[in-house]
Structure 1
């Protein structure tokens, strides 16, 4: 009865043991504890043999209150397309009540809980197949959830692992009760082996295995101690902090990593293509168009510092991300880091042809020496880098502006200083170039030819086919009023809902499970 109110119950009982009976049981328990094969199962059998004929003394019922913000956090995570499972050691009735309290399941879907249980192994397997059939034929899987206990899981793992894996991949919600620490880790391992990205969160010592098994482990430091927090990748003080960890910091981290990884290839390919083109134009002589100092400084100084500004970049504000958590689907679907985006950056690197052709036509004459040609080509690359980083930056702060354009100014200061050294081959080269109007005209042509098509394509996309991120950026810039394309309804809210719904429908990968222990405060 108490479990229907979400209370944690504990039954107290006693049994009188004879000394000989205890010694015999103690020897069996010691043998089971020292067993190297199936130790936990043998220990459980020995303990069950003792727990017979117990005289019931009473029952305790403890209210384990949910932490503040747990229902709201789970609701946001589910809207973001994340599967939330609850793995707990509580009995089934208590686990279901906790699931209702924390928005894991709703009262409307309580009748749609697919229970996997039975008195025999065959009954359990039949209930599993029945749940799998219902899940396959259901029109709205988001309203379905399955529940099973540790004993049923043990049978399923032995006899029907493939069917259970299929059910797990189709389920957005699951309640797994009476789970041992080992079984929690086994469930995480099953989902990982199926290609899912898993995050496990817990606050007790019985969650350590699960946290360590998951791709990402999050520990809650609280009354249960610090075992989970110390074993995790991330430690938070309360469950509600998970929403910012995933939706805000996790999303920003993905966006920044996607940009840095692709930009690193782009800047390296840009200078490589220029060298390749020069090799062909010089008859494959093996001569480098760039001197050793320029090549070293290009990656170490000229292009590394500006890209570091991306750590401050935010495409949309934290408030907007939490208001529209569905935008996380872009990250889950890999929309910012995939073959298509990599091909786009590769195409940008082909603008090396533009830099090379303009440089050759402007300075490849009898009056220009090799060092001037090299410095003009290098300058064109630096100009393109500065404008590319500026174009792909969504929010500007003082450190960003300082690093991008301060590095741009530093490029000229460094080369002017080096040009003043008489012993270097580039002596007086930069001073001579900076005094020529043709040099600055050449830089302007390189930027216009290199960035013009990119700006045009981006403008056309933002006007005629904006993404959900573009619409949210417009909403922020216009204080909540943005224009949708003419071929759809003019209502911004309707158009944004259309984009987010379409994104969920066309999401390339399945929803990734978020494994957690009971969300209650321990």
Structure 2
């Protein structure tokens, strides 16, 4: 009967349903098989830690509603305590979904300022209606929600939800382990793929690939934070050192009658960014302001990255002002120390260049939090390389710099001038940093001091953004996969985004 119904060309689904209804009637159950979908080790702890870091979570799954809620409870995605609240958006028609969505929105508005764990649940059918007819209301709901469970969703709906969160000025991270997650991963700002039993499609489409879900905690808190700090310093310092030499050239053009003459010779200008200043800052990618253990114990400090505290117009203006101040110090001291002594202009340029190199070495030293042998070699070895290169160039009679560096290094006034430049240039910066570390320390400074003293590391309060405009909001979307987990195989029950 079933084979006949399955082979018909007209009303096939209706005939199959009719046959099933006739056959599956008055049956005696002989046995039932249940398959447990186990979570990987560390999934609840990872979600709990990342929530403390201020990251919002959305679960996107193809499972039915009850299964999705039970999984969310088992992995700390939603709170089982009475303070937690689960809001349901359902309906089969446009009017039903609209009323349900408005009811949830009203609850979200009233509880937005309260410390409650409120989450909403929506299925794929209601989601399709909401995205089609209530886009504005659903977008407002996405802004107010810290946690959401979207069940019975399709791959296209996953990508669509990521796009909505991005339009709300969120930074999104998507993580998945199956081919159904590829569109979601590619749509997010950062895509993380988990290589497992469902294949390597997600891992190949992602920006990062990990082997276990619990590695996401280390990826974000440790590597993500270190990368942000290093990128912030590298980019701003690169502008600083380039602006420093440019400002000196501008100042010199005023006293030279805007003749277009350069204070520095062509060899020095060519080697300035290539050899003299690039190596120390590149080695700074190894810098760590806090140990990995401290960062993992205090996930709240990720707020400084989310709020853009180290890379914003204010910090860039600070580096801009530092380059201008150092340019004034180097130019004024060089001119007064040598130009008025009827020295050659090449000597004045070499003195100014030496001051720039010394100042930048001390700036990198001051901004470095942890030193290794490689960093010491890069900073101080770079200074030695500066003099070695110039001695070699000055030994060539046709170079235009013949014997200049030899004469300067033999003059006590040259070293006194360098010392004066370093003292005048770094003194105010050291004073400002001392005031901040002593009287207005940040939570990062407090943890750094605790690490150096070797005492217990603790923070009195959490690091939260007080206003929406003061923080860079971040969001994570999760997708659940219902497949059996075996310890010997790499497969994740969850996918984040």
Q: Normalising to structure 1: TM-score of the pair?
A: 0.87
- Residues 118 and 456 (structure 1), Cα distance of their counterparts in 2 relative to 1, 3 Å cut: same
Farther-moved stretch of structure 1 (279-288 vs 509-518): 509-518
Q: 1:459 aligns with which of 417, 429, 434?
A: 434
Q: Using the alignment, how far apart are the partners of 1:517 and 1:242 within structure 2?
A: 14
| 2:62–2:481 Cα contact (<8 Å) kept | no
| 1:70–1:519 Cα contact (<8 Å) kept | no
Ranked by relative contact order (alpha carbons within 8 Å, sequence separation 6 or more), the top structure is 2
Q: Which residue of 1 aligns with 2:142?
A: 168
Show the 5 A alignment for 1:70-469.
Answer: 70-108=43-81, 112-138=85-111, 139-140=113-114, 142-350=116-324, 351-469=326-444
Are positions 1:508 and 2:455 aligned together?
A: no
CA distances 1:428-449 after superposition (whole Å, capped 9, x unpaired): 0000000011101111111111
The answer for unaligned runs of 5 or more in structure 1 is: 1-13, 27-46, 482-491
Q: Which residue of 2 aligns with 1:517?
A: 479
Q: Using the alignment, how far apart are the partners of 1:236 and 1:219 within structure 2?
A: 6
Alpha-carbon deviation of 1:111?
5.8
CA distances 1:294-330 after superposition (whole Å, capped 9, x unpaired): 0010011101111011111000011000000000010
Q: Using the alignment, how far apart are the partners of 2:145 and 2:259 within structure 1?
A: 62
| 1:141–1:171 Cα contact (<8 Å) kept | no
Q: Using the alignment, how far apart are the partners of 1:384 and 1:510 within structure 2?
A: 34
| 1:142–1:172 Cα contact (<8 Å) kept | no
- 3-state DSSP class of the match of 2:402? coil
Q: Using the alignment, how far apart are the partners of 1:506 and 1:465 within structure 2?
A: 24
Q: Using the alignment, how far apart are the partners of 1:361 and 1:237 within structure 2?
A: 62
- 3-state DSSP class of the match of 1:515? strand
- Residues 220 and 397 (structure 1), Cα distance of their counterparts in 2 relative to 1, 3 Å cut: same
Alpha-carbon deviation of 1:476?
0.5
Alpha-carbon deviation of 1:273?
0.4
CA distances 1:406-444 after superposition (whole Å, capped 9, x unpaired): 011100010011111111111000000000111011111
CA RMSD, 1 decimal: 2.1
Q: Normalising to structure 2: TM-score of the pair?
A: 0.91
The answer for unaligned runs of 5 or more in structure 2 is: 483-491
Q: Using the alignment, how far apart are the partners of 1:333 and 1:307 within structure 2?
A: 24
| 1:135–1:141 Cα contact (<8 Å) kept | no
| 1:329–1:504 Cα contact (<8 Å) kept | no
Q: Using the alignment, how far apart are the partners of 2:223 and 2:380 within structure 1?
A: 27
- Residues 25 and 435 (structure 1), Cα distance of their counterparts in 2 relative to 1, 3 Å cut: farther
Are positions 1:54 and 2:40 aligned together?
A: no
Q: Using the alignment, how far apart are the partners of 1:228 and 1:76 within structure 2?
A: 24
| 2:193–2:206 Cα contact (<8 Å) kept | yes
- 3-state DSSP class of the match of 1:315? coil
Q: 1:476 aligns with which of 451, 463, 478?
A: 451
